[in-house]
Amino acid sequence: MEIVFSSIDDSAARFRLMGASQPFANALRRAMIGEVPTLAIEDVRIYDNTSALFDEMLGHRLGLIPIRTDLDCYIPQEQCTCEGAGCDRCSVMFTLSVEGPGMVFSRDLIPQDPRAAPAVDSIPIVKLTKDQKVVLEARAVLNSGRVHAKWQPTTTCGFKNYPIVEISERCDACGQCVEECPRGILVVKGGRVTVAEGRLEECSLCRLCERACLNTGIGEEPAIRVRSDDSRFIFVVEGDGSLPVREILQRALLYLKGQSDSLCEKIGEVSGVTGDEEENE
């Protein structure tokens, strides 16, 4: 199995996963979305709220603000020795105190730990008119997207099969498929249709080109065929700012490895064969 990045920075990545099965690609997608923990606001104590939003609505909006998460510093509450009481190993406190007129932004949430600040400063929370006020305390805890979407570290996380475009000798370069293709994948070159340089990965596998070719009266079989490679996948991942995308991918892969190791162990226990014995066989 191999991963080749086309682009990567802290907020987004595009990469090819090669030599893997469709179920594995889907497991990786699900692990990135639902199994990599992040911090999100879970409890809010409201001291004053004379804004137009109900307390519940305000709490909901606060919960959706992505918070920078250092996974080496925080652990999930159920693993913490404080047993859910909340301490600086498993939670971060924030305070917010704003008086109108003006907009309350995510940057107004002041964290007790400066490393755990909101990932984006300018998320609007509520607009206050003159004399309106919001004063509150909030507590963020670590959890995973499987429990609630507010703990998902990704905003986009999907994959598609790698496209394979084959053009047969029967192509007469009429250009109908080029006109039909919504992604500008095809060009007429040297008396035949071919894939434009660097455009193959943009193909959406919609097969409109095949239909256009059939509509030219070429016969029962189109001169262009598009199929998907079942062992190569193109991933696009965007983070919400709580974690760098590279870390999301690394932690998702480690999670899958852990799951696989524990499954092997369980199978070994049931069958009476240890992992070491299996490796020696």
Residue 82: contacted member of Zn ion, ligand SF4, none (CB under 5 to 8 Å, by partner type): Zn ion
The sign one gets for the Cα dihedral 20, 26, 27, 29 is positive
With contacts defined by CB under 6 A, how many residues of the chain interact with ligand SF4? 29
CA distances 87 to 42, 68, 148, 230, 245, Å, are: 14, 18, 22, 47, 27
Closer residue to ligand SF4 in complex, CB, 128/177: 177
**In angstroms, what is the minimal distance from the CB of 6 to ligand SF4?**
18
Yes or no: say if 124 and 103 are a contact pair by the CB < 8 Å rule: yes
Residue 87: contacted member of ligand SF4, Zn ion, none (CB under 5 to 8 Å, by partner type): Zn ion
Yes or no: say if 122 and 105 are a contact pair by the CB < 8 Å rule: yes
212 binds ligand SF4 (CB under 6 A): yes
Residue 256: contacted member of ligand SF4, Zn ion, none (CB under 5 to 8 Å, by partner type): none
Report whether the peptide linkage leading into residue 66 is cis, meaning its omega lies within 30 degrees of zero. no
**In angstroms, what is the minimal distance from the CB of 148 to ligand SF4?**
36
CA distances 51 to 31, 38, 42, 109, 246, Å, are: 38, 29, 21, 16, 39
Pick from 146, 138, 127: nearest CA to 60: 138
- Chain positions 234 to 253 lying near ligand SF4, rule: CB under 6 A, are none
Yes or no: say if 52 and 124 are a contact pair by the CB < 8 Å rule: no
3 binds ligand SF4 (CB under 6 A): no
Closer residue to ligand SF4 in complex, CB, 68/232: 232
Binding flags for ligand SF4, 146-165, as an x/- string (CB under 6 A): -------------------x
172 binds ligand SF4 (CB under 6 A): yes
205 binds ligand SF4 (CB under 6 A): yes
Rg of the Cα atoms in the chain: 26
193 binds ligand SF4 (CB under 6 A): yes
**In angstroms, what is the minimal distance from the CB of 74 to Zn ion?**
9
